[in-house]
Structure 1
Amino acid sequence: MTPTATLTCIRLNPDHHAVRRGLADRVQLHKTLMRLTPGTPSPHPRRDAGLLFRLDTDHDHPTLLVQTTQPPDLAGLPARYGTLLAARDLTPVLHTLTAGQHVRYRITAVPVRHLPGTPCGRRPDGRIRHSRGTPTALHGHDAAQWWQRRANQSGLALTDISLTPRTFERSPHTPHQPGLHHQLIQFDGHAHITDPRLLAQSICRGIGRAQSYGAGLLSLAPA
Structure 2
Amino acid sequence: MTAWLTRIAPDLRHPVARRDLRDITAVHRRVMSLVPDDLGEQPRHRAGVLFRLDHTTLGPVLLIQTALPPDPSRLPEGYGTVATRDITPLIKALTTGMTVHYRIAANASKRAWNGDNAGKIVALSGQHAEQWWQRKADASGLDLRHLRAQPQPAARGRATPVRHAITLFEGQAVIADAEQARAALLAGIGRGRSFGCGLLSLAPTR
Match of residue 66 from structure 1: 64
Q: 2:147 aligns with which of 161, 174, 193?
A: 161
Q: Identical aligned pairs, as a percentage?
A: 43
Map of 2:111 onto structure 1: 114
1:17 maps to a residue whose letter is P
Normalization by structure 1: what TM-score?
0.86
Q: 2:138 aligns with which of 146, 152, 165?
A: 152
> For 2:197 and 2:95, how far apart are their aligned partners in 1?
25
CA distance in 2, matches of 1:149, 1:42: 33
* The 10-residue stretch of structure 1 (9-18 or 144-153) with the greater mean CA deviation from structure 2: 9-18
Instruction: Give the distance between the partners of 1:147 and 1:53, measured in 2 at CA.
Output: 18
The more displaced of 194-203 and 33-42 is 33-42
> What is the alpha-carbon distance in structure 2 between the residues aligned to residue 32 and residue 88 of structure 1?
19
Alignment length, in residue pairs? 203
Contact kept? 1:25, 1:170, Cα under 8 Å: yes
Structure 1 unpaired stretches of 5+: 118-131
Cα separation, partners in 2 of 1:169 and 1:113, compared to 1, 3 Å: closer
Q: What amino acid sits opposite 2:27 in the alignment? A: L
Correspondence 1:39-188 to 2 at 5 A: 39-84=37-82, 86-116=83-113, 133-176=119-162, 181-188=163-170
Distance in 1 (alpha carbons) for counterparts of 2:59 and 2:147: 27
TM-aligned CA deviation for residue 15 of structure 1: 1.3
User: Structure 1 4/41 Cα, relative in aligned 2: closer, same or farther at 3 Å?
Assistant: closer
Can you give the 5+ residue segments of structure 2 that lack an aligned partner in the other structure? none
Contact 2:25 2:158 in 1 (8 A): no
Q: Which has the larger radius of gyration?
A: 1
TM-align CA RMSD: 1.7
Q: Residue 21 of structure 1 aligns with which residue?
A: 19
Give per-residue Cα distances to partners, 1:9-68, cap 9 Å, x unaligned. Answer: 111111112211111110111011110001424221111111111112222332111100
Partner secondary structure for residue 170 of structure 1:
strand
After TM superposition, the runs of 4+ consecutive aligned structure 1 residues lying more than 6 A away are none
Flag the 1:169–1:99 CA change in 2: closer, same or farther, 3 A.
closer
- Is 2:179 aligned against 1:197? yes
Pair 1:211-2:197 in alignment: no
Mapped partners of 1:41, 1:70: distance in 2: 11
